[in-house]
Structure 1
């Protein structure tokens, strides 16, 4: 088990990503930080051309594009709010025009607006649901339209298209003080499963990733001191914090033909958090 003193360093193994996505075109939403940034870079390393969506932080988005291009592929940054129907439609039109088509959508954009339930404002509720859930609907709908239009191109992929919805362990684990966030992730689960069921006959694969405790800017307070890290590890049987690259590698696999028969599944990347470790000693 990693000790709390290790919190400043990546705990993930250093592994090269094979070129399993060569020639494919991908769009990653919320790609200028944390998990989205790591996924976008990993898709590029796997050989895909990548559009990195973001809503603010031009400088960070430019750095993501630079990291993707370092792998010898095309990359663009695209600023758009995924909760806006008009902006999503324009983004997909422009990205498809630039790349010729789209093979992979990583529905990653998300945020938190935490509050005790009795004090939660409608704005806090709507902001989280609009981005985390409606944003995934809007982007998935636009991606499906392109996948159906183009169909399967066997020399590119076994599937007509791949959608990966970024969920959370909180699609399963209730989270007091975060009712809006947990609700959005529960919604993503059934959105993904319903869409997977409907689209599978068209050879469109839809799956999800549910990260657990991942070292990202959104949850810095949970891991940036030895004391916080030690508390966090009581929830993670595997004994280390997750890194963005742990999620990114799962995304590359789900987007590749290596997972061609995986449909409507949530892959939990959580070090065992959903195993309810409090019961390991009898509860």
Structure 2
């Protein structure tokens, strides 16, 4: 499973799952675009880790991937389009788009503000829509196939009280993926969702530091542990490869069995 000669953009890749996806794609030969919104130090760390992958190789078949970092707010459509354009200008093309950036806002439904709702939808759904559109336009112009991989959530399927806007955005992503699989298939473009459950990332720091809540969650996970970013990244790498050329319009759940065993506490 190799991605030599391919160029991949991973949105929201300055930390957590996005950073690990970048490293997995680079490890199998892809050149990578790192995107960040407000953590340039994290993006620099990701870039240095990509460079270190090549630095540790002493065999001819080892990858020596190049990395490039771009700041962009995925909630701003103009910046989204510029992100795709700059990625193409830097590497000459783009083959793989991983829509990883996402945010959530915790609030009871009756207290959610319009600004909070818009923030979640703009990043999680609107930004994904127009990033994918701009990427597809590039593929059509260059008459090439391509791959889109969305990082969704078990909450495209599983209710999550106090996160209604987030769930709605991921449900929208699920339907968008199914629809685009039909529209884009004839162009040789595949699109799939990877839906993580509870993953050990910086966004879950508060949970990790609350033993009671953490144990309650672990009781709902048949495999008995939180996921790791590499659990998600390895699946993304497969979907980005030619080994997954006949897979499109699907959601792949990475949750240790949480979805089918969850009970709200």
**TM interval, short-chain normalised:** over 0.9
Partners in 2 of 1:185 and 1:94 — Cα distance? Answer: 27
The answer to which of 99-108 and 229-238 deviates more is: 229-238
Partners in 1 of 2:214 and 2:110 — Cα distance? Answer: 29
Instruction: Note the C-alpha offset of 1:228.
Output: 3.3
Correspondent of 1:47 among 26, 29, 54: 29
Aligned length: 253
Please state if 1:108 is matched with 2:117.
no
TM-score, structure 1 length as denominator? 0.87
TM-score, structure 2 length as denominator? 0.92
Correspondent of 1:137 among 117, 122, 129: 129
Instruction: Note the C-alpha offset of 1:145.
Output: 0.8
Q: In the alignment, what sits opposite 2:182? A: 197
Moved runs in structure 1, 4+ residues, more than 3 A?
224-228
Q: Residue 26 of structure 1 contacts residue 105 of structure 1 at CA under 8 Å; is this kept in 2?
A: yes
CA RMSD of aligned residues (A): 1.2
Instruction: Note the C-alpha offset of 1:277.
Output: 4.9
Q: In the alignment, what sits opposite 2:43? A: 61
SS in 1 for 2:75: coil
Please state if 1:78 is matched with 2:78.
no
Instruction: Note the C-alpha offset of 1:69.
Output: 2.0
Q: In the alignment, what sits opposite 1:245? A: 230
Partners in 2 of 1:68 and 1:62 — Cα distance? Answer: 10
Per-residue CA distance 1:135-154 (angstroms, 9 max, x = gap): 100110011011112233xx
Question: Any gaps of 5 or more consecutive residues in structure 1?
Answer: 1-17, 153-159, 279-283
Q: In the alignment, what sits opposite 1:186? A: 171
Partners in 2 of 1:132 and 1:23 — Cα distance? Answer: 29
Q: Residue 221 of structure 1 contacts residue 228 of structure 1 at CA under 8 Å; is this kept in 2?
A: no
Per-residue CA distance 1:38-85 (angstroms, 9 max, x = gap): 111111111100001110111111010111122321101100111212
